[in-house]
Amino acid sequence: MNNIYGKLASHVYNLDKYIGKSFGDVEYYRERLKGCLGSILEPAVGNGRALVPLLEAGLDVKGFDASQDMLGYCLAHCAERSLTPALSQQTFEAFAYEERFEAIVIPTGSLQLIAKHAMAAEILSRFLDHLRPGGRLIFDLYPHDLFADSLPNIRSWQTETGDLLTLTSQRVKADLIAQTTVSHLRYELWSEGRLVSSELEFFTMRWWGVEEMTLTLRAAGYVDIVVSGNYDFGRAPRHGDEVVTFECHRPQ
């Protein structure tokens, strides 16, 4: 995958999606996992924005991420709160655990970072293999239009030391057949008006249809699929919804 989340990208992510920030997902996942006694896995754990409140709710959550920089932020946030989850550097494509999980959760559309349908199907099968019988997979997709946000966008954040981080994003490709978009993300760190460092990331996202994902989940072996709109469990998605959440089970 192109999406690597380097040093500056991870810093921006941590400033923008800080611990305590929620898009409605933290409360939703906490409610859906209430009473879960077994281990939970969060792939693409990032800086721990979802992981930390789930741990603080008493849930046994483990996580992995492909970015060591992201894991560094996650470990630091956990240490500040005397939380000691098992975290590791792994990828969607190759992660492996000896144990089997009661639930696997992927909030905020991270599954859309997998650009190819065939690879996504393989990873969904890998998730199934890592669930206990009857275990749940819960994840979000964002049904945004392929043509949305096509104009350049510039955002900025002040760092902890008073420097300036900027992100310039530009959509450069929208492939309707492959259902993917590619954006150039240019991260820049400025100190006293001088450019200190920069990173360029080629950011690829895949856009799924609701029925397409449902069929893909069934083909992978999942059952009892529930699709919900805007974190309203059991309410069918409708036009205008910002997020679609899938919840499904490994057969008993």
pLDDT range class, residue 145, cuts 50, 70, 90: low
- Please say if the pLDDT value at position 148 is more than 80: no
Mean pLDDT along residues 201-209:
93
Per cent of the chain over pLDDT 90 is 92
| Count of other CB atoms within 10 angstroms of residue 173 | 12
Digit-coded pLDDT (tens) for 19-64: 999 999 999 999 999 999 999 999 999 999 999 999 999 999 999 9
Q: Which CATH number fits domain 7-143+207-249: 3.40.50.300, 1.20.210.10, 3.40.50.150, 3.40.600.10?
A: 3.40.50.150
Output the CA torsion sign for 49, 228, 66, 63.
positive
Domain ranges of the chain: 7-143+207-249, 153-206
| 3-state helix vs strand vs coil in the chain, percent to 5 | 25, 35, 40
Digit-coded pLDDT (tens) for 77-91: 999 999 999 999 999
Q: Where are the beta strands (DSSP E) in 142-217?
A: 153-158, 164-175, 180-191, 194-206
Note whether 45 and 55 are within 8 A (CB): no
Note whether 2 and 116 are within 8 A (CB): no
